[in-house]
A and B are shown apart, each in its own frame.
Chain A
């Protein structure tokens, strides 16, 4: 694939990440399936009390078990993994220019991207099919 085509995908994934990232933010705030929309609930003691916030296990699980949110997270993960590891590849290729080093960097980033993608997808898919407790 030409470098110019990869750059166009970089721009496109950037815009899509912006839209899906905003949806991710809404998933844990305004649209969170909880009465209380607070992320960090310190109360009067100053100790992080999870049970009332959106980060509480059963609240997060409700979001993960929804097919719609699962799809949003999977798409976001896909675009993020491409955008980030292609960005890392560009930065590293500029720091270590040369045909051989660029090839090594490209393959290293590809493997790292696949690992993160599979790792994140595993969480999303297993939660959709009743993972966790």
Chain B
């Protein structure tokens, strides 16, 4: 059976009439795609180590200046923020979608709000949000200063 997907990926950019879960879904997809493309670029970039020090060092320096100075730390910081978000939201999804740590399901009652997942899901969002900020901050401090917090 073929199910028609009328809105397609355009709907990822229109999560306005939905709740925070929808925003998080859109961001999870977008960060996933960005990280996937980064992996392919990273595999190409690191394969240049086989060509010796001159090529490697040239590529490392050149990658820092494609659109102006200090592009390397900027792109690494953005990748780090995307990775922190994708990883921590992924943990939340693994917990919630597998029904871990959730109360027993019950009969739906008006106004049909999913109370059984509400509490834990909201707590997880806050805890993982704080962890994401801490992780990204530690990484960015390291990238820009070399200081390991």
Contacts and interface: CB of A to CB of B under 8 A. Distances in A.
A55 interface: yes
A57 B47 contact: no
Given A84-B39, A97-B3, A25 B49 contact: no
B49 A50 contact: no
A40 B36 contact: no
Place the interface of chain A in its size category: 35 or more
Contacts of A77: 43
Contacts of A30: 148
Interface residues of B, number: 47
Contacts of A104: none
A74 to B, nearest CB: 12
Interface of B: 2-5, 8-9, 29, 32-33, 35-36, 39-40, 43-44, 46-47, 49-53, 56-57, 60-61, 64-65, 69-70, 72-73, 76, 83, 87, 90-91, 94, 97-98, 139, 142-146, 148
Interface of A: 11, 14-15, 17-18, 21, 25, 29-30, 36-42, 46, 48, 50, 53, 55-58, 60-61, 64, 77, 80-81, 84-85, 87-88, 91, 94-99, 116, 119-120, 122-123, 126-127, 131-133
